[in-house]
Amino acid sequence: MNSSEADLAHIAVVGTGYVGLVTGTCLADLGHHVTCNDVNPQRIEALAAGQVPFYEPGLEAIIQRTVSAGRLRFTTDLRQALQGAAFAIVAVGTPSDAAGAADLTALHKVVDGLAAAAPKGLVAIIRSTVPPGTGDGVQRRLRDAGRPDLQVVNAPEFLAEGTAVKDFQEPDRLVFGGDAKAAQEVAKLWEGIRPVAKRHLVDRATAEVAKYAANTFLAARVSLINEVANLCDAVGADVRAISAIVGEDTRIGAKFLRPGIGYGGSCFPKDVQALAFTARSLGLNLAVAEAAETTNNAQWQRVHAKALKALGGSAQGKAVAILGIAFKPETDDTRYAPGLRLAKALVEGGAKVRMHDPIAKVPHDLVQQGVTQSNGPDQAIAGSDVVVLATEWKQYNALDWPALAKKAGRPVLVDGRNALPWEALVKAGWSVEGIGAHPPRLTVTP
């Protein structure tokens, strides 16, 4: 809250998913007056009653304090949200369509709403992840609708689920794409952020590509370390030591070198596909980006193969416990969660699949296929023929693994994240199989 009163703005935020809600709430926390809008009345009603529609650490407390301070409001009425607003942040979904392209239907609908109801001179801030050319297209759409007074700036987000509030408050960098004056005005909204992060004022297409490039780099890293892990499996090397050795090269860096069951979530799969689609439509082949997805789509199958091997070749009639439903820890988001793909394959192979997650729920379609949700990990593990770790929630490390070895039908674990304390598990009688690594754990000097 370091901005002076003069710098504070009225901002409408359209879309209350992760991106819109975190952005709107955190901007209100910087002192701005924010009205969040969504077409979903249940969601707005719940938010107005102080209920956050998804699990995101730290968010609820900030919503409560900014609502109490009168700086954060919620409405289903776009016109109302836009009243007196100088900025409108567009944060609606851009899901993949059947061909892998980003579907901009919701975004265009909002833009038409802005054309109809935005106060004169408002700056529209596109926060949704959109293909290059979208911002320019929106600017044209507004002009054609008789609103040349409205400016469009792309301000992509780099918020990861589970750490979104921290990522907003302590960003590595901020990107604002558009005409210099409008981009600068938008950058000022983030002025209260301390310490000051580097601001990149660029053109719209650069901002749009930067977002896709960042996610594609991260996704490709994960796929590459997964490929290295798969090689390690074949030659008996230990990928955990290799991640450390490779990551100690300061040119490479240590993050995002954890192999496993593959990446999921609402961003990497969708964004890598959308980038590759955009390139293809321009006659370009982004072979590395495409390969990141191809490798990822095969990675959960390797865990499936390990589970089947542990089951003696067939899942028919076997009891399988899968720990973790969410696509990663600290979120209840199950979109593109690799553990769910695994569960589907196992249940279709005749297994009785029980899943556990501290907060995420088994989606309806899998429940219908017979996958059940256990209240606790011990309930899932009791009587199981194999346990698979799909999401590396910290609390699984602290389970009473010696007691669980006695409860399990067969104490066999496939650690799809190389996350559990293998030495202790092996001592407790578990047989453990990792991804590109095998017990006993190899040690690296600190």
Nearest CB to ligand UGA, comparing residues 122 and 272: 272
Omega within 30 of 0 (cis) for the link into 132: no
Binding mask 128-147 for ligand UGA (x = CB under 6 A): -x------------------
Token pair of 391, please? 């999401």
CB of 397 to ligand UGA, least distance (A): 16
Contacts 24+ apart (CB under 8 A), 59-62: 59/21, 59/22, 59/25, 59/164, 59/165, 62/25, 62/26, 62/28, 62/29, 62/165
Interacting residue with ligand UGA among 111, 123, 218, 311 (CB under 6 A):
218
State the Cα torsion 323-325-331-336 to the nearest 10°: 140
The yes or no reply on residue 265 touching ligand UGA (CB under 6 A) is: yes
The yes or no reply on residue 178 touching ligand UGA (CB under 6 A) is: no
CB of 211 to ligand UGA, least distance (A): 7
Nearest CB to ligand UGA, comparing residues 18 and 401: 18
- Which span sits near ligand UGA by CB under 6 A: 43-51, 98-106, 255-263, 279-287? 255-263
CB of 269 to ligand UGA, least distance (A): 9
Q: CA 8 to CA 162: how far, in whole Å?
A: 28
Backbone CA torsion sign across 328, 334, 338, 344: positive
CB of 6 to ligand UGA, least distance (A): 31
Nearest CB to ligand UGA, comparing residues 93 and 113: 93
Cα separation values, 300 from 17, 28, 141, 308, 416, Å: 27, 40, 42, 12, 9
Q: 46 in helix, strand or coil?
A: helix
Asked about 26 being catalytic, the answer comes back as: no
CB 88 within 8 A of CB 14: yes
CB 405 within 8 A of CB 429: yes
- Which span sits near ligand UGA by CB under 6 A: 76-84, 251-259, 308-316, 437-445? 251-259
Nearest CB to ligand UGA, comparing residues 75 and 266: 266
Q: CA 151 to CA 125: how far, in whole Å?
A: 8
Token pair of 407, please? 């409860």
* CB burial string 310-340: b at 16+ within 10 A, e below: bbeeebeebbbbbbbbbbbbbbbbbbbbbbb
The yes or no reply on residue 258 touching ligand UGA (CB under 6 A) is: yes
Interacting residue with ligand UGA among 113, 260, 324, 436 (CB under 6 A):
260
The yes or no reply on residue 110 touching ligand UGA (CB under 6 A) is: no
Binding mask 149-168 for ligand UGA (x = CB under 6 A): --------xxxxx-------
Nearest CB to ligand UGA, comparing residues 31 and 336: 336
- Provide CB contacts within 8 A for 344, sequence distance 6+: 366, 369, 371
**Number of residues in contact with ligand UGA under rule CB under 6 A:** 21
Q: 339 in helix, strand or coil?
A: helix
Q: 164 in helix, strand or coil?
A: helix
Q: CA 396 to CA 52: how far, in whole Å?
A: 26
Nearest CB to ligand UGA, comparing residues 96 and 129: 129
- Which span sits near ligand UGA by CB under 6 A: 86-94, 193-201, 256-264, 368-376? 256-264
User: Of 26, 36, 232, 267, which is the active-site residue?
Assistant: 267
* Near ligand UGA in 313-352, by CB under 6 A: 327-328
Which residues belong to the active site?
267
Which residues contribute to the site for ligand UGA (CB under 6 A)?
A: 129, 157-161, 215, 218, 222, 256-258, 260, 263-265, 267-268, 271, 327-328
